[in-house]
Amino acid sequence: MSKVWDAVGWQAMRSRAAEIVPLALDAYADLSGVLERDGLTFDFHFIPAMVDTLVWSESGPYRNGEPDDFLQDVIATVKRRRQDVITRNTFRRL
């Protein structure tokens, strides 16, 4: 995503934000039970993972593959990002 951001600029990328809203709402509706059960938040955990999971091109963001595969990828990204934060914080304390 950062390569696309660099290529098209922040204004174009900002204009794409509205395009991901329907995808985000649908995915969150399907995943909210799992996210809430695991203490994961919409803004800090879900949205960054969903944005990372989307495929970004100069023509905009899109969901790659079947909806269920996308949802599994979002959850995997949430867990990976969460583990990365835990690991960073653990090593800072050492």
pLDDT of residue 56: 81
pLDDT at 93: 64
Write out pLDDT tens, residues 36-58.
Answer: 999 899 999 999 999 889 988 77
Query: Which residue ranges of the chain lie beneath pLDDT 50?
Result: none
In what helix (H) or strand (E) does residue 62 lie, and over which residues does it extend? strand 60-62
| Cα gap 92→88, rounded to integer Å | 6
- What predicted TM-score, i.e. pTM, was given to this entire model? 0.76
